[in-house]
Amino acid sequence: MITVTFPDGSTKEFEKNTTVYDILASISRGLAQNALAAKINDNYVDLNYPIQENCTLEAITFDNEMGQQVFHHSSSHILAQAVKRLFPDTKLGIGPAIQDGFYYDFDSEHTFTPDDLQVIEKEMMKIVQESLPFQREELSREEAIRLFEEKGEIYKLELINDLSEDAKISIYRQGDFVDLCAGPHIPNTGKVKAIKLLNLAGAYWRGSEKNKMLQRIYGTSFPKKAMLDDYLFRLEEAKRRDHRKLGAELELFTILDDGPGFPFFLPKGMIIRNELENFWREEHIKWGYQEIKTPMILNRSLWEQSGHWDHYKDNMYFTKIDEQDYAVKPMNCPGSILVYKTKMHSYRELPIRYGELGLVHRHEMSGVLHGLMRVRCFTQDDAHIFMLPSQIKDEIKAVFDLIDSFYRLFGFEYHVELSTRPEKSMGSLEDWEHATDALRQALIEKGVPFKVNEGDGAFYGPKIDFHLKDSLGRTWQCGTIQLDFQMPERFDITYIGEDGQKHRPVMIHRVAFGSIERFIGILTEHYAGAFPLWLAPVQVKVLAITDKHADYAKEITEKLLAKGIRGEADLRNEKIGYKIREAQTQKIPYMLIVGDKEAASQTVAVRKRGEGDIGVRPVDEFIEQVKEEILGKK
């Protein structure tokens, strides 16, 4: 007999070699039906896996991230099988799961077209209706090579040859189709109830320009058609909200051929940017930060000392000054450390919190540039905290609270990930364990649920990452809290302790917005361009019904501007309906319609974005109401 422990801590005994599916079915027939795979101890397996020893067991369903990966990866096998049925001479590349779907790379003499996607989709649904079981087999290296040589699958052979001599080689069959794969997979193709192939792209084999260009087909799939319908709706909504489209329509920013990856902010975009920066400054003063500004270009020796030269130089820009090597800063931290070193510090001064809106430059490949989301220069709302070891936990909690207050203001939900030591890092294992444990304990004491993201820390320390969830349910990594024992050591920074001796402080690196540019892009899509009143480039538009009301419209606009409200008057000789529709297109929070009645009574007819006509108000009353709304950042 074997003992199986379940996620709730309960245990149950079963005969040796009982399959995962049978164990789950003994607990709940519904759970077994909904399960796609399972987690045994730390390994993911198929449902027909026979359990041979004591273990922990957790069902993996579509409700969690791993379940979706298994489902989508299985769908990529269905795609590959359909393509091989329709175009038998096609050679198979790879077909992983990606966020919200999957893709598969093909080497085919046939050039796929959008019309082909519909044909392939129909063939995939035939395979689904056949409910073919996914069957795992383990082969020796020789058997695997022989199998794929017979099938002429040159890319699979290359993958096999790259595996270590002692690696286990597994394949999965479904009907007449076989693929090299580690698994796990869903029980059978019938689990996939809804499929949509989305688009085509070219992709170099294994991402190298030296290799052949393959054809990539992207798709998505779900266990229910209603889930696919919802996803496709969100996809269309995302296109409507695309910040690049709205950025042009609302005249916020542009990116020109003269500077790919280097955004130009237009006057209206600068208003949003300045409001965010003003808010950042006000809040950081409240939270005890001092603002600094450090140079954009610094000597190579500094970047060697910081470790960026060894760990980050492929992403940096360089120049020569007086025949010496300099680098354009990709990060602000070394400059902040130099500011700290300008004088000696006592333990009584710590923590010292330096904040900086620092412009950084990073060399990104042209293929990944994307509006404001992925650029080559951006402003980090950086801060570096120098503190006593005894202050670590309290400072982490305080930073967490500051970042939380920022996101709540904008209406963002978020989840948190703890990222641990990467393969390429600086410092001792002991320092890393100490830093990681401090971050973990702070999260536990805050009562914040988090998941561990193994190996994704910065090269100098572990970090807490904040992933925002926007109005379409998409997530964006923005804020971060990084704990660093390495930079203080490398730069030999100290403070005078209570004992009169020199001691080493600890550093926190942190951002809230992350990148001002990217955050504006996220906000644009989150609000679909309808920014909250306090951020809106034009807060109030005054619309004169006819030319004779122009003077009154100007008078109101001047009153608005005098009270610090961003107002504009539309005095054009156009019909009022046209003016209203245009103001709606520009997503103006308030419109004030003025005609004979309003001019005579010193009132305005108010239209509010999203609500329409909300009645006639005295001008001064309306102004006070709007001022209160702006100050409250509602």
| Residue position matching structure tokens 């955004």 | 263
Task: Scan for tokens 């610090």, then name that residue.
Answer: 564
Q: Decide if 534 is inside a domain.
A: no
3 state SS of 191: helix
> Within this chain, do residues 479 and 442 fall inside the same structural domain, yes or no?
yes
What are 376's two structure tokens?
């080559």
| pLDDT at residue number 292 | 97
How confident is the model over 492-515, as a mean pLDDT? 95
Which 8-state DSSP code applies to residue 380?
E
Among residues 77, 216, 241, 509, which one is catalytic? Answer: 509
In CATH, what number is assigned to the domain containing residue 617?
Answer: 3.40.50.800
Evaluate if residue 167 carries a pLDDT over 90. Answer: no
One domain, residues 23 and 111: no
Asked whether residue 166 carries a pLDDT value surpassing 80, the answer given is no
Give me the pLDDT at residue 194, please: 96
281 is catalytic: no
Whether residue 52 sits in one domain with residue 71: no
| Per-residue pLDDT at 460 | 78
What mean pLDDT do residues 66-90 have? 97
* Half-sphere exposure in the Cβ direction for 96 (13 Å, CA): 4
The pair of structure tokens assigned to 504 is 């080493």
Query: In this structure, is residue 248 part of a structural domain?
Result: no
509 is catalytic: yes
Examine the residue annotation and report whether 162 is marked as an active-site residue of this protein.
Answer: no
Task: Answer with the residue of higher pLDDT: 128 or 1.
Answer: 128
Say if residue 426's pLDDT is above 80. Answer: no
Is residue 503 part of the annotated active site? The answer reads no
Look up 380 and say whether it is catalytic. Answer: yes
Statement to judge: residues 462 and 591 lie in one domain: no
347 and 495 Cβ atoms separated by less than 8 Å: yes
**587 and 510, same structural domain?**
no
Average pLDDT over residues 346-369: 93
Per-residue b/e over 311-326, b at no fewer than 16 CB within 10 Å? bbeeebeeeeeeeeeb
Average pLDDT along the chain: 93
H-helix segments, 375-515: 392-409, 429-446, 486-490
Report the alpha-carbon distance of residue 605 to residue 616 in Å, rounded. Answer: 4
Asked whether residue 250 is domain-assigned, the answer is no
Burial of 86 (0-12, 13-18, 19+ CB in 10 A): middle
DSSP 348: G
Check residue 417 and give its pLDDT: 93
CATH of the domain at 8: 3.10.20.30
Q: Answer yes or no: do 388 and 517 share one domain.
A: yes
Q: 475: which strand partners?
A: 469
Q: Are residues 482 and 360 in the same domain?
A: yes
Strands (E), 161-268: 169-174, 177-180, 194-204, 213-222, 253-254, 264-265
Q: Is the pLDDT of residue 290 over 90?
A: yes
Domain membership of residue 504 (yes or no) is: yes
Q: What angle do CA 107, 110, 115 make, to 5 degrees?
A: 115
Checking if the pLDDT of 268 tops 90, the result is: yes
Last residue of a domain, one of 502, 526, 550: 526
pLDDT, tens only, 309-339: 887 888 899 999 999 999 999 999 999 999 9
Confidence of residue 229 (pLDDT cuts 50, 70, 90): very high
CA distance 609 to 589: 5
Coil, strand or helix: which one is 437? helix
Q: How far apart are CA 346 and CA 331, in angstroms?
A: 27
Going by pLDDT thresholds of 50, 70 and 90, the confidence category of residue 464 is very high
Inside any domain, residue 625: yes
The mean pLDDT value for 265-278 works out to 97
Residue 243 belongs to a domain: no
Identify the pLDDT of residue 429.
83
Question: Could you check whether the bond before residue 351 is cis, i.e. omega within 30 degrees of 0?
Answer: yes
Catalytic residue of the set 181, 308, 333, 486: 333
Catalytic residue flag (residue 634): no
Q: For the chain, percent helix, then strand, then coil, each to nearest 5? A: 40, 30, 30
Question: Do 124 and 270 fall into the same domain?
Answer: no
Specify the CATH number for the domain of residue 297: 3.30.930.10
Q: What is the pLDDT of residue 352?
A: 97
Q: Residue 164 sits in which domain range?
A: 67-238
- pLDDT grade, residue 66 (50/70/90)? very high
How much is the average pLDDT of 435-441?
89
Query: Is there a contact between 465 and 511 (Cβ–Cβ < 8 Å)?
Result: no
Q: Which residues contact 310 (CB under 8 A, 6 or more apart)?
A: 304
User: Do 86 and 219 belong to one domain?
Assistant: yes
Q: Residue 223's pLDDT is what?
A: 96
pLDDT at residue 416 tops 80: yes
Q: Among the three residues 26, 41, 60, which one is the final residue of a domain in this structure? A: 60
Total number of domains constituting the chain: 4
C-alpha 79/C-alpha 90 separation (Å) is 12
Q: Region 611-632: what's the mean pLDDT? A: 94
Catalytic member of 179, 382, 431, 470: 382
Residue holding tokens 């354009």? 328
255 part of a folded domain? no
Tell me how crowded residue 259 is: count the other CB atoms within 10 A of its CB.
12
Which entry of 380, 486, 539, 586 is annotated as an active-site residue? Answer: 380
| pTM for the structure as a whole | 0.81
Domain C-terminal end among 60, 81, 108: 60
| 90 and 37 part of one domain | no
pLDDT of residue 70: 97
The total number of residues shown for the chain amounts to 634
Is 16 a known active-site residue? no
Peptide bond into 184 cis (omega under 30): yes
Pick the catalytic residue from 463, 510, 549, 587: 463
- Annotated catalytic residue within 384, 526, 566, 607: 384
| Residues 297 and 319 sit within 8 Å (Cβ to Cβ) | yes
Cα-based angle 358, 362, 363 (whole degrees, multiple of 5):
160
Are 77 and 56 contained in the same domain?
no
DSSP tag of 613: E
Quick one: pLDDT at residue 313? 82
Q: Which residue in the list 73, 241, 268, 362 is annotated as catalytic?
A: 362
Q: Has residue 249 been placed in a domain?
A: no
What CATH number is associated with residue 134? Answer: 3.30.980.10
pLDDT digits (tens, 9 = 90+) for 180-202: 999 999 999 999 999 999 999 99
pLDDT for position 394: 93
Return the pLDDT at 248: 94
- Name the H helices within 484-549: 486-490, 516-526
- The 10s digit of each residue's pLDDT in 549-577 is 999 999 999 999 999 999 999 999 899 99
Report, as an integer, the average pLDDT of 80-93: 97
Q: Hunting for tokens 């889930």 — which residue is that?
A: 227
Burial 158-188 (b: 16+ CB within 10 A, else e): ebbeeeeeeeebebbebeebbbbbebbbbbb
Q: Give the pLDDT of residue 425.
A: 80
In this structure, are 268 and 224 located in the same domain? Answer: no
Mean pLDDT of 408-427: 88
